[in-house]
A and B are shown apart, each in its own frame.
Chain A
Amino acid sequence: MTHSSELLKGTLQTIVLKVLKDHGKTYGYEITQRVKELSEGSIVLTEGALYPTLHKLEAEGLLKTERVMIGKRVRKYYMLTPLGKSEAEERVLEFVDFIKTMSTVLQVQLS
């Protein structure tokens, strides 16, 4: 099943950062595919949410970009800046912490 976009909203940046951290240079479409693979199809990033997020992270200085000409089209690769790398780790830890808190709040046992 696919998760609701409401749930995804707060974690989108974390996902993007983590993907970029693990795969290095990546472009927009690739990110959506990667996320799809990892979540076995249960998380589908909409383009409408992905690009604004990428631009926002770029503006904050966490990402840098590189343009490569591929035939008639231009491909824009995203990668983490040093600041982005540390931020990615932090966000992941923060999220783990969040899950722990949620599990106690919702009183469910995580395997």
Chain B
Amino acid sequence: MLTNEDINYIIKDLNYRGIVAEDIQEELIDHVCSAVETEINNGEKFIDAYYKVLKSFGHTGGLRETQKKSIQLQNQKAKNMIKNHLTIAWRNFRKQSFYSFINVAGLAVGIAACLVIVLFIVDELNYDAYNTKANRIYRLNEEIKFGGNHVLICQSGAPAGSSMLQDYPEIEAAVRFRDHGSYLVKPANGTQNIKESHVIWTDSSFFKIFSVDVLEGNPNTALKEPASMAISRSMALKYFPGKSALGESMVLDNKYHARVTAVYEDIPPASHFHFDFLVALVGDWPAAKEAQSVSFLSENFNTYLLLKQGANARALEQKFPGFIKKYFAPQIASALGNDFTMEKFTSNGNKWEITLTPLQDIHLHSDRKGELEPNGNITYVYLFGIIAAFILVIACINFMNLSTARSSNRAKEVGVRKVMGSLRSHLVRQFLTESILITFLSFIIGIGLAYLLLPLFNNLALKQLQLPLVNLFFYLILAGTMLLIGLMAGLYPSFFLSAFKPVNVLKGHVALGMKSGFIRSALVVFQFVISIFLIIGAITVNRQLNFIQNKKLGFEKNQVIIVHDAYALRPFPNVQTFKNEVLKINHLEKGTISGHLPVEGPDSYRNNNTYWKNGRQPTPDNLVGLQSWNVDTDYIETMGMKIKTGRGFSTEFTSDSSAVILNEAAIPMFSLGENPIGQKISTFDGNRPDGSPDPDQIRSWTVIGVIENFHFSTMKEGITPLGLFLNKSDGNVSFKFSSANTEEVIQSIEKVWKRLAPGQPFQYSFLDADFGKMYSAEQRLGKIFEVFAALAIIIASLGLFALTAFTAEQRTKEIGIRKVLGASVGGIVVLLSKEFGKLILIAFFLAAPLAWYAVNWWLKGYTYKVEIGIPVYLLAGVGAFVVAWLTMSYQSMKAALSNPVNSLRSE
């Protein structure tokens, strides 16, 4: 048997001969020992036996060959390879923790921003997709153009849908919606009214066309009977908690008693309408009566068609000119009374067209008069998509920049690996593993960030987005993008690094390659082009908003409180009492009862009726579309509007009931000339039984005054003709107040309201706030731009920060020598900043024209817009430069202030 001493000798000797791999070493030791034992048993001495055994292995060479073969076999296993790559990647990550942190942070922020935007875009693109028949549902639109009028509406006359259903076999069903604004709602036995704004009148085919689940009641018959209605699940819960709403009775506006015949699941958020109450369009209530009208010319119904399977919508659209000729033309002709024909109408450049919009295009592609709710805009989807891509690209660029910039630090590693026999493909794989590891970490953090930031974004974009954390598909896509980004970001550095020639690298020549960072410079420029562009965008949107806020509107929007739904006070004289009572309160000076307000919102009704100058024959060329507003004698004064010529309404003139006050814009449209006062305008005052306007019922109005133009719509639109009429209309009561204590004003008005209208909701708003709400889309856009501009510049700065740190590190020796030779700290800071400063300057000159183009495009949508002068561009450029300089200066200062002894003594 072998002694321990012998065994130790064998272990040491084998080790000395180069057998070191753990696994094979043990095995060979055992083998050799066993063989030696056998030889000793055969009578050999230990040392002779050992050499005999070694010989059978082929001495040192043979031993090593055996070891090498075994190791190679082991390494062919992919698992080991990846493990090795991951280990090295992780070690590198930890060793370069500063750069790694910046890489991960930048990429994580980019990914979070991108993820949020992608969720937003997916949500926008999937509007109305819950409808199983979505691809067969179309909405009817009309485009009407004559004289100086041009309207694009998404509503049609009452009989349009049913006539089409009759005439065209490819249509399976039609449904109409009639929007009468908000209603005061209570259960039949309730006392307290609640204002509900999602109330719509509709046909019984609603449930057949739209995929809204009916929870209780029969969807086929629910809306067939007069005075029946369907309500959403949340409304059923709200008004009839703890019991079935089916069969219950509800009261709308204190007068319409309707029975609940169905309860349906709430309409999903991603829908272009969110009705809570569907009231049947049958019976003899005003909306239902309107629905029975045979006039094609009063477009009040949002009409949707369900086509049959396989029907061609474009082919159907081709038939609509015939439809207009058949139904519309006779009604127009009989109204105008003369030799009207559709051919003559269109040959004069006029237009009356019906088109179809596919259901799923409505949310993003439709912005017409009469939309059921404000829609989204495909431009913003594109814009955000581009921003998301940009931010991600910026983050990836950082990654690439830093990786290549660090290349000299890793050049030695590459050289040694190559000398040791590593192939280029091994190195590429190694670097790709590293970049994928970093991407993976960034994704984890990015998703966490997105989760935290989503509520904020939802607030900003008025959305209810959620991370689809239970969706397998979501993870697949994430994993796919992760790999893709990892590959994209890692590809350039890995090929760049792996291309080093070991001889050059080990001689130390690679540092020369550092200065020729053309691609790196280009990437920095690109980042700052995007940042500056976004900054200019943010400033522009905010300037335009400011402009709108401060523009002279033609009315006074400050210190005006509006009490809504004054019709709850009915019968009529009560509203007058209310106004008088409120005006007795201190600080409330003027008040007016009116149907219309100079701001657009859910409570401001807009109409467009046709008038013509009295004494002329109404023809398509001299008809004028006129907004007719019902106001009282105090309207002009309360709203602070200015009378240009003539006078306002007065109780002293009884004839004022047939008087009109026009705005300036209306005068040239009616060709009223220099002195419009005393002239008359006319309109149809009734319909014939067939629904067409009756040429025998014409009413005329005398112009008693002209008011200065005021903005009653958004700044996107020009000021169109408008007339004020002295009519009793109890939509709103507005008060001008002078007290600074608005809380007190509200309370004292509410007291009067509670007394005069017990059980009715007191709804109020301020005119300036309502005005602001008209631009909420712009305000959101502005905020979103700000956020993303900030993100872009933060990520770009992070990258720049790391890059300067790196350059400073590279140039420590140079800086040391400069300092020894007498360079000042300031001089060195300038020296280090100069290079990047130049890049930012280039970025500015590239971004400016791009931004100029985009800004002009956006502002083109506004009739009234701000001038974006050179200062804005300069501001953005200087801003980006200052941010960049501040990030750079930290590193530059650090380098410049360091003691040259430290950097020079090592050589």
Contacts and interface: CB of A to CB of B under 8 A. Distances in A.
Contacts of B70: 51-52, 55
Nearest to A75: B30
Interface in A69-92: 70-76
B27 A48 contact: no
B66 A29 contact: no
Contact of A28 (B8, B27, B56, B62): B27
B7 A71 contact: yes
Interface in B55-78: 56-58, 62, 65-66, 69-70, 73-74, 76-77
A108 B676 CA distance: 129
Interface in B1-30: 4, 7-8, 11, 24, 26-30
A67 B25 CA distance: 13
B18 to A, nearest CB: 14
A16 B737 CA distance: 104
B30 A27 contact: yes
Among A52, A67, A74, A76: residue with most chain B CB under 10 A:
A52
Contact of B74 (A29, A55, A74): A55
Nearest to A76: B27
The secondary structure that dominates the B interface is: helix
Contacts of B29: 73-74
Given A28-B30, A73-B26, A74-B30, A48 B57 contact: yes
Among A47, A55, A72: residue with most chain B CB under 10 A:
A47
B138 to A, nearest CB: 63
Interface residues of A, number: 21
Contacts of A75: 30
A52 B77 CA distance: 14
B417 to A, nearest CB: 25
Interface stretch (B31-39, B316-324, B374-382, B558-566): B31-39
A53 to B, nearest CB: 9
Contacts of B38: 33
A71 B7 CA distance: 10
A55 B58 CA distance: 20
Contacts of B26: 67, 73-74, 76
A46 interface: yes
Contacts of B66: 47-48, 51-52
B899 to A, nearest CB: 56
A51 B69 contact: yes
A34 B293 CA distance: 107
Interface string B208-223: 0000000000000000
Contact of B7 (A46, A52, A73, A76): A73
Contacts of A27: 30-31, 34
Contacts of A30: 34
B30 A73 contact: yes
Nearest to B6: A72
Contacts of A72: 4, 7-8, 11
B13 to A, nearest CB: 14
Contacts of B8: 72
A58 to B, nearest CB: 9
Contacts of B58: 46, 48
A59 interface: yes
A29 B73 contact: no
A59 B30 CA distance: 21
A59 to B, nearest CB: 6
A56 interface: yes
A54 to B, nearest CB: 8
Among B57, B69, B76, B77: residue with most chain A CB under 10 A:
B69
Contacts of B73: 52, 55-56, 59
A67 B33 CA distance: 16
Contacts of B74: 55, 59
A47 B30 contact: no
Contacts of B65: 48
A70 B31 CA distance: 12
Contact of B4 (A51, A59, A71, A74): A71
A56 B75 CA distance: 11
Contact of B24 (A33, A51, A70): A51
Contacts of A28: 27, 30-31
Nearest to A48: B66
Among A56, A73, A74: residue with most chain B CB under 10 A:
A73
B34 A46 contact: no
B1 to A, nearest CB: 9
B7 to A, nearest CB: 5
Contacts of B33: 73
Interface string A9-44: 000000000000000000111100100000000000
Contacts of A29: 30-31, 34-35
A75 B26 CA distance: 7
A48 B7 contact: no
A72 B65 CA distance: 25
B904 to A, nearest CB: 53
A48 B69 contact: yes
A46 B28 CA distance: 12
A87 B139 CA distance: 71
Given A29-B34, A73-B7, A76-B27, A48 B77 contact: no
A48 B28 CA distance: 10
A70 B4 CA distance: 11
A48 B30 contact: no
A51 B27 contact: yes
Nearest to B27: A76
Contacts of A76: 26-27, 30
B721 to A, nearest CB: 88
Contacts of A71: 4, 7
Contact of B28 (A47, A55, A59, A70): A47
A61 to B, nearest CB: 11
Interface in B61-112: 62, 65-66, 69-70, 73-74, 76-77
Nearest to B7: A72
A67 B27 CA distance: 10
A74 B23 CA distance: 10
A72 B1 CA distance: 13
Contacts of A47: 28, 31, 56-57, 62, 66
Contacts of B62: 46-48
A48 B27 CA distance: 12
B77 A46 contact: no
Contacts of B77: 59
Nearest to B35: A29
A91 to B, nearest CB: 19
Nearest to A27: B30
Nearest to A70: B30
Nearest to B64: A48
Contacts of A59: 73-74, 76-77
A83 to B, nearest CB: 17
Contacts of A46: 56-58, 62
A67 B29 CA distance: 13
Interface string B453-466: 00000000000000
A67 B8 CA distance: 19
A76 B77 CA distance: 21
Among B30, B56, B66: residue with most chain A CB under 10 A:
B30
Contacts of B57: 46-48
Interface of A: 27-30, 33, 46-48, 51-52, 55-56, 59, 67, 70-76
Closest 9 CB pairs of A and B: A29-B34, A52-B69, A74-B26, A48-B66, A29-B31, A72-B7, A55-B73, A75-B30, A28-B31
18 contacts: A27-B30, A27-B34, A30-B34, A46-B56, A47-B28, A48-B65, A51-B24, A51-B27, A51-B69, A55-B70, A55-B74, A59-B74, A67-B26, A71-B4, A71-B7, A73-B33, A74-B26, A74-B29
Given A27-B31, A29-B31, A59-B73, 6 more contacts: A52-B66, A52-B73, A72-B8, A73-B7, A73-B30, A75-B30
